[in-house]
Structure 1
Amino acid sequence: MEKFVIAKDFVRKVRRFNLTGRTLEFKIKPIPGGAESVSWIRDAINQVIAKGIEGLHPEDQVAFSFCCKQFSRGEGWLKFRAARDVTYDDVWKVISDIYQSNSSGLNTETFCLGVTSVKMPAGRGKGRNYNSYNEECAKRSGIISINNKDNMCLPRVLVVAIAFATKDPEYNKIRKDTGKIQRDKAIELTKNAAVTIPAAGCGIPELQQFQRHLTCFKIVVYKYGTKGRDVIFKGTEEEAPSLNLLYHEGHYNVVTSLTSAFLCRDYCETCHIPYDHKERHRCGGTCPGCRQAPACSLATNVTCDNCKRSFRGQTCYNNHLQSLCQKIRRCEECFKVVQSDRKHTCGEIYCKICRKHAPADHLCYMQPDVGKPKAEDLLFCFYDLETRQEKQLEGGARLHEPNLCFQTVL
């Protein structure tokens, strides 16, 4: 039971921090008959402190004020301190000292306790572009949101993902659930897979049952907020078209584009890593020749007459013709793979300190900064403003108004 009432709740300017603060004024309820007065008041003050710092961060500032009609020497104060440092003992000590100084006892009918809190600014990096999971999924072109009110979320996303993977002519109808076609296909899939949908929705056991039924597909469930690095479920290691799903707080959505969903240029489905530069990503699932996934099997060695690189068979060779042959080549003298549009000299590397190509064993030093303008070409302007502060603004601040300016140019 609350042993206090909030008499006032208002916002005011706190000049010490030049920020807006919130002030709550509390009155302690009358002590009921038969209750021990000191314990009642202690509990009430503890409740007031808890209410006053409710919702504050540890670094936010809190101050207390104490007033009573019986105080002949004015109000009492407990200066601003961090919310984490506020203790009952400090507040009770100030109250005890005030009443001892005024030679009176605490009267709950006239005693008022004020709590002023100021939320301090704190930078924690760039904010999110989206306020919620549903908002982000709705905005992303590579994610299809499933808007259902039943517990058929998983079979619904599976039928949409299957329609997308197989390029079903009725894909748009299934995605939009036109004429309840999405629901009907989800019920049919559940029946064929012999899956019983729990009241709370589907989890890992149901995913395993659906995977055993959908032998021609591979179900992959990604955890939201990890950019594809955290995989909750991966149905099989065999090569098959993937049904990519996104999970967050009891809801599944369909992922039609991993690069769009995870904000990257490329995504490796073997090691589950997003990346922006294909030439910098190496893993066992990517072919070193054509840089396609999965890796090409070792067959006959085929050499390209144009870029001089070797490939793992005819398929690997054909894959590289589509995107790599004009971009990278192998030097016939030093056998180093380089980009075709850049000048190459055997034995040289690009030094990031010198910002030029140099021998691999060269010694270099920190280079002078040539980006700043020369001092002799600069114009310096110095000025001094004399101001007055006669106009008062809202909140107690005063406006600086210049009335005299001194300036010189060099």
Structure 2
Amino acid sequence: MNTLVDDLKDENGIIKDADYVRAIVHHPSLKSEIWIPFSQSTEMSGDAILKEVQKVQQSNEDFKMEDGQTTIDLLHVEMPMGSGGGSVKNLHTDKEAFRKGKKSIVSIVNDEDHMCLSRAIVVTIVHANKPEKESEEWNKEWKHIRQSKNYKLQTERAKALCDQAGVSSEHGCGPAEWEKFQKVLMPNYRLKIYQQNAVAKTLKFDVLYK
């Protein structure tokens, strides 16, 4: 198993030591995939995968990893990341044009800091707590956290979330920070992160973290 994982990491030589990877194990008998936590590529090994697999095997006798039906995907996240980026053309348009065309998308503005993820999380939390009945109080909070001058409320809550999770607000976030945010969000919220597939012919988002 260790040799197999090393071969996957070495394929095309695109995974660097500082990059993060996670493994996803698939098998027909599994109700859902086994997601191995993100770790730096130097720490991802066959032993780490087998440890998580064995936990599932103890409660699922139908899952036989060695029966030839198991597949393993490695999800690769190149570092550094999380500090924004330039305009990327895709699907005959760009991200800004796509965002403006979708009224359901909230744009996160962080020109003066690196808290784009924590900002997105605190905005999403407000939306997740939208009451079933019309609420003037919630409407004000929802508008304020998205549109207030200098994004004061959003900044305060994003910084507080970073402090609570032990995440620095002075640099971009990677998988290690995602895990820290998830720990403080549980059990009420589940963090999911997607990345637009830049080579797909149709609009497609790949799961980076869930």
Query: Which TM-score tier does this pair reach, normalised by the shorter chain?
Result: 0.3 to 0.5
Tell me the TM-score normalised to structure 2 length: 0.46
| Higher share of residues assigned helix | 2
| Higher share of residues assigned strand | 1
Q: Tell me: higher relative CO, structure 1 or 2? Use CA pairs within 8 A at least 6 residues apart.
A: 2
Q: Which has the larger radius of gyration?
A: 1
Tell me the TM-score normalised to structure 1 length: 0.24
